[in-house]
Structure 1
Amino acid sequence: MSKIVTLENAVLQVKISKNGAELHSIYHKQHQHEYLWQGDKEVWGRHAPVLFPIVGQVEDGFYEVDDVKYKLPQHGFARDMEHKLITQDELRCIFELRFDHDTMTKFPYKFVFRTIYEIKNSKLSITYQVDNIDTEDIYFSVGAHPGFNTDFIKNTSFEDYTIEFSEQEKFQRLLLDNGLRSGAIQEDALNGAQTLDLKFDTFKDDAIIFDHFKSESLDIVCRHDDSRKLRVAFKDWPLLGIWTPVGKRADFVCIEPWYGVADLRDENHNFKEKYANQKLPKEETFSATFSVEIIDKDE
């Protein structure tokens, strides 16, 4: 049985793998173009991993809940587990991951985690839902990590593109030190600009992480030809990561809405106090949606 699920309408063909409920393809039929990074183990072997129940790293590879230690790899375990396909039609599908004995050894909470994909015209919406089916509050982070090809205008590559934010603002950047937050914060990281030109050197110190921003979306646009753009909308998401692998000079950029972020270096390991972690009371549901849309200027 195939592990790939396909959604399709007149404009888009979208493919998702049951492994990690990971998006594998956003193909635009009219453009005859693949907008999602297709993976290369020599560069970055993933496409769009789902991050749960942590985003980033926990210091020293472990965290504590009620004085008990638990180990988790970077970005958690959901991206490396098979998710159950609950429902599917041509335009929408739902994947589900439930707690089990194995997850409880790494993450001591009872949960149901769903990933919902839905297409409409040239837009793909992605929703993450967490049900607390435990007897107490649960704590977690969740995030997205899709990589988008920077070649959708003919004869262009990564450094021909820019990111245009929906609002002009003083972005606050959280700086990293070997995968953990250093504690340093760069105020007004874009110097009042509304755009971020994609330059490989910009990512020499790892991902750009923005906190406390007003923008609800951004567009990836070619600086020489703005006839086509890719829009990522992330209303109400508190953090945003932007990343391309250091030193690889790859033609893709990851746009990553997050509820959560890597640990602060030399921070205590108390998971309930982890910055930007979500607290969910029993019998309640957390839900967050972002979208990806391919836009033609003349349409």
Structure 2
Amino acid sequence: MLENDILKIKVVPKGAELQSIYNKNAKREYIWQRDPRFWTKSSPVLFPIVGGLKNGRYWLHGQEYQLPKHGFARDHTFDLVVQSKTELSFVLRADRQTKDIYPFDFDFFVHYILEEDTLYCTYEVWNNSEEKMLFSVGGHPALQLDFSQRRGWADYFLEFPDDSALTRYYLRNGLLHTQPEFYPLEGHRLQLSGNMFRDDAWVLKNLLSKKIILGNRQEDYAVGFAVEGFSYLGLWSAPGSSFICLEPWCGVNDTEQHSGLLEEKEGIVVVSPTDRWQRTWSLSILK
């Protein structure tokens, strides 16, 4: 638990998952509260892959391995290594179980830092192997929307301040279709709708905007989501629910044409032996 005069944050060791951002002044919860009718997660951490693998498997050094969708980190219990008034840090270390399906020696840290009205989440990977390490990592935070008082999807929008159009890639059977579609934005805004995820998630590439605004027409709800350093942004929601996931990714689902070789996977991150790598996204409560 992290808390200041504005926000109260809850993170659990399983998956180092963020489960609550509560605004004490507005008395509002900003994170989806895991209604099992729709989705039982709040903000899973995706590692060492993002999305699904073609046929659920990959090859490395001539050996075949299998990994579940979004990897295994979200299903493992992390160790709490830092707890202070402003920071919670967790680590998942490679062990025999992880090496059976992902043969690298690593320390994977997830750091949460609370500063006034902003929560920073940093993913940090240490390559303890004697070879280069290949991985993907990403976030999957689900933002709770207020559908009370006859409000619904049509009241909400995503604003991309530096983009006039979006480049969207579709997922087909969990794999990335390589032909994009282009969506022009009106006033830099993407209007949300209840059926926009009927064909699975949106995968966005080549965004110019480093910070995205999720807001509503009533101008009584707004969050800023900073994603600089992430190559992809996923958007998703479960049918009938009242949340939207804003997903910063370094890595993406396998393409339909992928060879299966991990080193040829689109968006794969490569870290040299004994090196470290990190990326940070942040969520600011604006209203």
**Which interval holds the TM-score relative to the shorter structure?**
over 0.9
Q: Counterpart in 2 of 1:3?
A: none
Give 1:14's aligned residue: 9
Task: Tell me the CA shift for residue 42 of structure 1.
Answer: 1.6
Ranges of 4+ aligned residues in structure 1 off by more than 4 Å: 152-155
- Map 1:90-239 → 2, pairs under 5 A: 90-151=85-146, 156-186=151-181, 188-190=182-184, 194-223=188-217, 225-239=218-232
**1:258 corresponds to which of 232, 245, 249:** 249
Letter in 2 for 1:151: D
Q: State the alpha-carbon separation in 1 of the partners of residues 261 and 20 from structure 2.
A: 38
Change in 2 beyond 3 A, CA 1:216/1:154: farther
Q: 1:153 to 1:8 in 2, by over 3 A?
A: farther
Gaps of 5+ in 1: 1-5
Pairwise CA distance, 1:267:
1.6
**TM-score normalised to the size of structure 2?**
0.96
**Partner AA of 2:112 in structure 1:** Y
Give the root-mean-square deviation of aligned CA atoms: 1.4
- Within 5 Å, give how 1:22-101 maps onto structure 2: 22-101=17-96
Which ranges of structure 2 fall in alignment gaps of 5 or more residues? Answer: none
2:234 counterpart of 1:282 = no
Distance 2:232 2:282 in 1: 15
Contact 2:147 2:242 in 1 (8 A): no
SS at match of 2:31: coil
- Equivalent position of 2:264 in the other structure: 273
Distance of 1:228 and 1:200 partners within structure 2: 18
* Cα pair distance change 1:183/1:121, threshold 3 Å: same
* 8 Å contact from structure 1 (residues 158, 252) kept in 2: no
Report the secondary structure of 1:116's partner residue: strand
CA distance in structure 1 between the aligned counterparts of 2:135 and 2:234, rounded to whole angstroms: 18
* 3-state SS, counterpart of residue 289 of structure 1: strand
| Structure 1, 259-268 or 136-145: larger mean CA deviation | 259-268
Report the residue type matching 1:268 in the other structure: S
2 CA distance for matches of 1:155 and 1:121? 32
Could you tell me the TM-score, scaled by structure 1's length? 0.93
CA distance in 2, matches of 1:35, 1:234: 18
